[in-house]
Structure 1
């Protein structure tokens, strides 16, 4: 079922690669314990010149930016799949997780 959902999404966008950035960001907000973050800091983005688009992070205890430096990939992947299956379920067709008896 999940593979069909991904294929349909990729076909819709005429693409061959799916990197779930938004889903990972959502999981980071919902379950920050699955990630390792830097201490607070600030971020600066170069807007022009040869370095346009380059970002720089500066540690700062009063900053509001934290960067994920590590992720529990198996757990985050599992959460994404769980959410996709839940969103794809209909009342008369429960998700695989809802069918589990363990």
Structure 2
């Protein structure tokens, strides 16, 4: 068969196992703050599964542990830093307004 007339074949991607971010000895618990902080973003949000590379069961347990840590106030609900600061506008005229007739 001519190469130009061959049907299109999608190349197969190799399957890779996700790298485990939780070691076998790590316990998912609300008191294990060093583990919990790896799965919380800078804004204080819980990282999704596709980012954290956890299994479904691990993600569920991690979510429960993070929520328990927040309720017991060992982990803040949001990051306390101010991200946006209001600055004075430089485009407005500071003098009196004049109406054009």
User: Could you say which TM-score interval applies, normalised by the shorter chain?
Assistant: under 0.3
- Normalising by structure 1, report the TM-score: 0.20
Larger Rg: 2
- Normalising by structure 2, report the TM-score: 0.20
Q: By percentage of residues, which structure has more helix?
A: 1
